[in-house]
Structure 1
Amino acid sequence: MTLTNAYQAYENNQVLFAKGEELTALLYKGAIKFIEQAKLAIEKNDWSRTNDRIIKAQNIITELMVTLNMEIEVSKSLVLLYDYIKRRLIEANMKKEPGILNEVQEMLVELLGTWTEAMKTVRLT
């Protein structure tokens, strides 16, 4: 088994055996990673890869949106934020604009940090 295949197997197992709250963190990390890859592709004028990576990030945001429990008050705010992020990703893809990707990536990094802290707090109680 090559190192790449071993890493892919590790990533797959991480998703398969993750708890619900861990999956949310993995989704944030995945979106952040795909946005970073899209920015690198823009630098190389690789429009096909840029498009592919931004769409992957959009799909993750869609997944985050559809899995929200709308009976929880914070979900109403999160769905609006996710919708904004998704619209900005579409705009970034159309314009091939790394500045928009930076904005969205920063939001996701902040959401990941908040989510991670919330999970720590929940585990302590």
Structure 2
Amino acid sequence: MFSMPQSFGGRRPPANAYAEIGTSTATDDASPHKLIGLLYNTLLSDIHTARGAMQRGDMPAKAHAISRAVRIVDEGLAGVLDMSRGGEIAKRLAALYDYLARRLTLANLHNDEAALVECAKLVDTLKDAWDGIAAQVHAGAQAPSSVSAG
């Protein structure tokens, strides 16, 4: 579902996208699964920051936070989907990420706090699901080294 090659033919690997949006977390040793989790966390943080800025009337801070959130969705999450191997799940995630990016943009344009609340709920659901498969991902990564001949 997700592709983690060194080159994306113009797309950045999630570690690069994550670093380029200004986060200061060490991502060099993080697994692809952990990188996506970090992106979800940062996305939620940016949405909450935008809501707070909107409530305070701080439009530059709101615009900055939403801009970062849209970049995370477009470059960090949608940008690493492997449509050729991800099947229906990748297609649905791509559609959801497109929806999130559009809703965030409209929330910015129209100062629509309800849209930010909706986006936060969607991302929170995605994050919970992503966190829920961590044990399976970790077990799958361990499987080749724990296979014994005999």
Short-chain TM bin: 0.7 to 0.9
1:21 is matched with 33
Percent identity, aligned pairs only, is 28
1:68 is matched with 81
Q: Partner letter of residue 53 of structure 1?
A: A
Residues in 1 aligned to 2:28 and 2:56: alpha-carbon distance in whole angstroms: 34
Q: CA deviation at 1:98?
A: 1.1
Q: 1:41 aligned to 30, 47, 53, which one?
A: 53
Q: CA deviation at 1:33?
A: 0.1
2:121 is matched with 106
Q: Partner letter of residue 109 of structure 2?
A: M
Residues in 1 aligned to 2:124 and 2:28: alpha-carbon distance in whole angstroms: 23
Q: What runs of 5+ residues in structure 1 fail to find an aligned partner?
A: 1-10
1:81 is matched with 96
State the structure with more CA Rg.
2
TM-score (norm 1): 0.87
> 1 or 2, which has the higher helix percentage?
1
Q: How many residues align?
A: 115
TM-score (norm 2): 0.73
2:8 is matched with none
Moved beyond 4 Å, runs of 4+: none
Q: What runs of 5+ residues in structure 2 fail to find an aligned partner?
A: 1-23, 141-150
RMSD, aligned α-carbons: 1.4
| Deviation by residue 1:48-96 (Cα, 9 ceiling, x = unmatched) | 0000000000000002111101021111110000000000001100011
